């Protein structure tokens, strides 16, 4: 493949990223890949700076952990740019390329030997009392409605397609994509779901009932989160770990499948099941 333009989005707070960054730029030169960097880094390393759609990226890569990947990928979705990640963090479910195999990954990239997977995304609309226009947000992994006041239990009602479907006394509620099944939802007791599946995973956080269990529903459904009248304090909505807004007593949060997809570039033939085995059961 000729004229590969690769957006590189590093987390320079990670020591290993800083140490290896020059070597990664050298790999770009070796494989005739044009690196495109965020403006401050572009100025520092005398490279082309990222200018949104005008940069005409072939692909984008994050250098860091899954958090770094999520921040980059959320930006790249709107430009329809395929993404992959190099893991300098811990588990690295999303940033699945390890630095030691980056040279092989660049070779596959330049040879055009990769696949593109479409991953389902979620969109939220928060209808605040007294406001005509909802606040909207995008999530790759999950939306979380969680308590702001740690001294209280939240009382939440879940609607699916406009019908009351469940009530929870819990610290909060997670609505995750299949991609996000290995993130916060898993920590809260949710199921592992093959990431190509078109589903939402609804997982309560620290529910005050032994009978409360996670739900897996088609991503084509519409989910609503409301606070029950007995709730005594507001909640906060976050998307992929970033706070979006406060949820007031009479506010409504609607979550649906997003029209756009995340385009994930696969530069390895490792299956998800092998990845799960390595990342989750490596100590056995």
Cβ neighbours of 128 (radius 10 Å): 17
H-helix segments, 31-81: 39-45, 66-77
Tell me the CA distances in angstroms from 107 to 4, 16, 31, 118, one per residue in order. Answer: 12, 22, 7, 23
Q: Decide: 10 and 21 in contact? Cβ < 8 Å.
A: yes
**Is the pLDDT score of 164 beyond 50?**
yes
Residue 283 — very low, low, confident or very high, per pLDDT cuts 50/70/90?
Answer: very low
149 catalytic per annotation: no
Q: Identify the pLDDT of residue 280.
A: 66
Listed by start position, the domains of the chain span 4-119+261-280, 122-257
Q: Identify the pLDDT of residue 277.
A: 67
Q: What does residue 223 show for φ and ψ, rounded to 5 degrees?
A: -105, 135
Q: Decide: 236 and 150 in contact? Cβ < 8 Å.
A: no
Condensed to tens digits (0 to 9), the pLDDT of residues 88-123 reads: 977 667 888 999 999 999 999 999 999 999 999 999
Q: Give yes or no on whether 4-119+261-280 and 122-257 have one common fold.
A: no
Q: Identify the pLDDT of residue 5.
A: 97
What CATH architecture is 122-257?
Answer: Sandwich (2.60)
Q: Decide: 262 and 73 in contact? Cβ < 8 Å.
A: yes
Q: Give the residue among 234, 178, 171 at the shortest CA–CA distance from 202.
A: 178
Q: Which of 66, 171, 240, 251 is the catalytic position?
A: 66
Condensed to tens digits (0 to 9), the pLDDT of residues 219-246 reads: 999 999 999 998 888 899 999 999 999 9
Q: Identify the pLDDT of residue 94.
A: 85
pTM of the prediction?
A: 0.91
Q: Identify the pLDDT of residue 116.
A: 95
Q: Residue 10 corresponds to which tokens in the numbers above?
A: 């590093």
Condensed to tens digits (0 to 9), the pLDDT of residues 14-41 reads: 999 999 999 999 999 999 999 999 999 9
The position carrying tokens 């696969």 is: 266
Residue 158 — very low, low, confident or very high, per pLDDT cuts 50/70/90?
Answer: very high
Cα separation, 200 vs 257, in Å, equals 9
Q: Helix, strand, coil proportions of the chain in percent (round to 5)?
A: 25, 40, 40
Cα separation, 217 vs 211, in Å, equals 18
Q: Residue 191 corresponds to which tokens in the numbers above?
A: 């199921």
Condensed to tens digits (0 to 9), the pLDDT of residues 49-66 reads: 999 999 999 999 999 999
**Is the pLDDT score of 260 beyond 90?**
yes
What CATH architecture is 4-119+261-280?
Answer: 3-Layer(aba) Sandwich (3.40)
Cα separation, 205 vs 189, in Å, equals 8
**Is the pLDDT score of 150 beyond 80?**
no
Query: What 3-state class would DSSP assign to 193?
Result: coil
Average pLDDT, the chain: 92
Sequence-separated (6 or more) residues with CB below 8 Å from residue 264: 82, 83, 84, 116, 117, 118, 119
Query: What 3-state class would DSSP assign to 64?
Result: strand
Q: Identify the pLDDT of residue 103.
A: 95
Q: Decide: 8 and 58 in contact? Cβ < 8 Å.
A: no
Average pLDDT over residues 171-189: 95
């Amino acid at each position: 493949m000729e004229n590969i333009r690769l957006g590189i989005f590093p987390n320079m707070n990670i020591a290993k990223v800083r140490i290896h960054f020059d070597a990664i730029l050298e790999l770009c030169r070796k494989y005739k890949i044009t690196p495109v960097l965020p403006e401050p880094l572009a100025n520092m390393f005398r490279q082309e700076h990222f200018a949104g759609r005008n940069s005409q990226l072939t692909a984008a890569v994050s250098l860091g952990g899954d958090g770094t990947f999520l921040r980059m990928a959320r930006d790249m979705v709107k430009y329809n740019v395929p993404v992959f990640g190099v893991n300098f963090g811990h588990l690295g479910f999303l940033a699945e390329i390890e630095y030691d195999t980056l040279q092989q990954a660049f070779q596959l990239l330049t040879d055009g030997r990769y696949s593109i997977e479409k991953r389902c995304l979620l969109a939220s609309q928060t209808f605040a009392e007294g406001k005509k226009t909802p606040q909207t947000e995008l999530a790759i992994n999950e939306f979380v409605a969680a308590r702001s006041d740690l001294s209280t239990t939240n009382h939440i009602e879940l609607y699916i397609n406009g019908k009351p479907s469940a009530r929870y006394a819990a610290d909060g509620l997670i609505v995750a994509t299949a991609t996000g099944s290995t993130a916060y939802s898993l920590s809260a007791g949710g199921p592992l779901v093959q990431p190509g599946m078109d589903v939402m995973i609804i997982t309560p956080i620290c529910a005050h009932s032994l009978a409360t269990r996670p739900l897996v529903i088609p991503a084509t459904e519409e989910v609503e989160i409301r606070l029950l009248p007995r709730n005594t304090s507001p909640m906060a909505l976050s998307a992929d770990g970033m706070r979006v807004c406060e949820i007031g007593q009479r506010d409504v949060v609607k979550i649906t499948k997003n029209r756009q997809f995340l385009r994930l570039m696969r530069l390895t033939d490792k299956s998800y099941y092998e990845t799960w085995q390595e990342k989750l059961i490596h100590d056995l």
